[in-house]
Amino acid sequence: VIAFFQPKLLAGQKLLVTAGPTYEALDPVRGITNLSSGKMGFAIARAAHEAGAEVTLVAGPVNLPTPRGVKRIDVRSAQNMLEAVLQQAPEATVFIATAAVADWRPASSSERKIKKDGSGQPPQLAFTENTDILATVAQSPRAQSGELFCVGFAAESHDLEDNAQAKRKRKGVPLLVGNIGPATFGRDDNALLLVDAQGSRELARASKLSLARELVADIAARLS
C-alpha cells in the first residue's frame, strides 16, 4: 500500500538518450557504419519512461520499435546526431550517450557514385574526426553546474576498468558504464561495469531491459 504513494524514481526528470550506430556517407550508395544494434539505448529509454521520466531518444539507423511514450528523433550521421542532441540538451536533466558514434567520417562525400577508374587502383579515402558529442555536452555550463547529469558508455576490448576510468575522466562525466565482454553488439543480454569517481560496481549479466532498469535506479539515486 505504501508503495502506491511513492513517486516514480525519475518523476520530473527529462532524459536525453542517444542510441545505435551512425552512418557516414561516402557517396549516395555507400558509407561507413558499425554493428551497434541500439538495443541497450532503447531499453534505457523504455526503462526511464517507465520510471516516470520524459524521454527523448536520438536514434541512429536501427531497426527497432520506438518504446511507448518516448519521443524519438531519427538521425543518420554523427553530425546529424550532434545537432539533434545540442537542440534537445538545454531541456534535459540527464544525458545518456549509448550511441556507437562513428569516430571518423569521410573528409568529403561524393554527390555521385564513385566509379572504378579502370586503373585497378582503389580510391584514396581521407577521413576527418567527428566531434565528441558526449564530451561537448559534458563541457556545457549546465553539465558543469550539475543541472545536467551526463552518463557515457564504453565498449573496451581489454583492461575494462582502467580504460573506462580513464575515459570517464577524459570525457568529464560523473558516470561511465562499461560493457563487460564478450562483444555485446546485437545481443539481448549484457553485463555492465559502473565506473565513477569512487570506483566501480558490476551489474551482473542479465537482459538489456533488466540492466536498463537497474541503471535507471542507480542514476536516480545519484540525482540531487
Q: Judge whether 39 is annotated as a binding position.
A: no
d(CA 122, CA 174) in angstroms, rounded, equals 44
Q: Judge whether 127 is annotated as a binding position.
A: no
Residues that bind Ca ion (CB under 5 A): 103
Contact, 170 vs 155, CB < 8 A? no
CB of 144 to ligand CTP, least distance (A): 17
Q: Which DSSP letter does residue 65 get?
A: P
User: Rule CB under 6 A: is residue 190 a binding residue for ligand CTP?
Assistant: no
Residue 153 site contact among ligand CTP, Ca ion, none (CB < 5 to 8 Å, cut-off depends on kind): ligand CTP
d(CA 132, CA 185) in angstroms, rounded, equals 21
d(CA 35, CA 184) in angstroms, rounded, equals 10
Site map 41..80 versus ligand CTP, x via CB under 6 A: -------------------------------------x--
Query: Which residues, in sequence order, are CB contacts of 92 under 8 Å at separation 6+?
Result: 14, 15, 16, 56, 148
Complex with ligand CTP: residue 113 or 162, whichever CB lies closer: 162
CB of 111 to Ca ion, least distance (A): 28
What is the set of active-site residues? Answer: 34
